[in-house]
Structure 1
Amino acid sequence: MDHFFENTFVQTASYFSVAVLGIIVFLAIFELVTKYSNWVEIKKGNLAVAMATGGKIIGISIIFHYTISQHASLLGMLVWGVFGFFLLLLSYFMFEFLTPSFNVDEEIKNGNYAVGFISMVISIGLAFVIGASIIAT
């Protein structure tokens, strides 16, 4: 059985499966902390929500990219991916905290493209920082 898990195709499928499952779970967690329903708003054509959600998907994927490239085991990849996600989630709350003049969630829900775009850029940018930090460990 060990030989089976040493197969490159099996390892690739395993990393892919764990990363996709992680993206789904982490998006569900983001859905719980936002004051709007991502998929309802996207279905309505809310581009600000689509940008913010897309940034989260890219951000989570970037973190998984770094964890896969730096950790030889699925467990190591998953542990560091979860840790990286929580750092990304923390950055979401910091963005909200650092903008006291407006409510980020409300602005995104109301279709404010500028706030949706900045939210996307923060998610992507900080995912690279988180990923680089994962490499350093």
Structure 2
Amino acid sequence: MDVLLEYTWVMVIAQYSVSILALIVFMVIFEWITPYKNWEAISQGNLAVALATGGKIFGVTNIFKFSIENNDSLLQMLMWGSFGFILLVVGYLIFEFLTPFFNVDEQIADDNRAIGLLAFILSVGLSFVIGAGITNS
């Protein structure tokens, strides 16, 4: 297996595959964390949920971008990507905590697009901060 991973195209396929599998697992975890059903709400046209979910997808994949660029092995890439995901979840929970005047998840479930956009921007922004941390590791 190590011999195969010496080929760039095999390593790209491996990194891609691990990233996609991790994204699926992480989106399932996000589905458990939020009180609404992401994909059901999106299929019903809830733009706020679509924005928040899109931000999470972008955030996770961006973290893996930095992880791929800064790690030589698949295991290291997965470990740093997973650590970055945990930090992204913590950031989302802090966002909920720092908005005591309203419940972020309820607002998103109710299709409050302003909150959905804010959640999108938060996930994207934090992914760059987390990625910078991964770069300096």
| Band the TM-score falls in, shorter-chain normalisation | over 0.9
Instruction: Quote the Cα distance in structure 1 between the aligned partners of 2:55 and 2:75.
Output: 25
**2:130 corresponds to 1:130:** yes
> Can you give the 5+ residue segments of structure 2 that lack an aligned partner in the other structure?
none
Please list every run of at least 4 consecutive aligned residues from structure 1 whose deviation after the TM superposition is greater than 3 angstroms.
Answer: none
Instruction: Quote the Cα distance in structure 1 between the aligned partners of 2:81 and 2:125.
Output: 16
Instruction: Quote the Cα distance in structure 1 between the aligned partners of 2:10 and 2:59.
Output: 25
TM-score, with structure 2 as normaliser: 0.98
1:66 — aligned with what?
Answer: 66
1:79 — aligned with what?
Answer: 79
2:94 — aligned with what?
Answer: 94
1:109 — aligned with what?
Answer: 109
TM-score, with structure 1 as normaliser: 0.98
SS at match of 2:102: coil
1:54 — aligned with what?
Answer: 54
1:2 — aligned with what?
Answer: 2
Identical-residue share of aligned pairs (%): 53
> Can you give the 5+ residue segments of structure 1 that lack an aligned partner in the other structure?
none
1:12 — aligned with what?
Answer: 12
Structure 1 residue 4: Cα displacement: 1.6
Q: Specify the code of the residue in structure 2 equivalent to 1:31.
A: E
Structure 1 residue 2: Cα displacement: 3.1
Q: Specify the code of the residue in structure 1 equivalent to 2:41.
A: E
- What RMSD, in angstroms, separates the aligned Cα atoms of the two structures? 0.7
Q: Specify the code of the residue in structure 2 equivalent to 1:42.
A: I
Q: Specify the code of the residue in structure 2 equivalent to 1:101.
A: F
Instruction: Quote the Cα distance in structure 2 between the aligned partners of 1:126 and 1:3.
Output: 36
SS at match of 2:36: coil
SS at match of 1:88: helix
Instruction: Quote the Cα distance in structure 1 between the aligned partners of 2:26 and 2:124.
Output: 15
Structure 1 residue 9: Cα displacement: 1.0
Instruction: Quote the Cα distance in structure 2 between the aligned partners of 1:35 and 1:91.
Output: 17
Structure 1 residue 31: Cα displacement: 0.4
Q: Specify the code of the residue in structure 1 equivalent to 2:14.
A: S
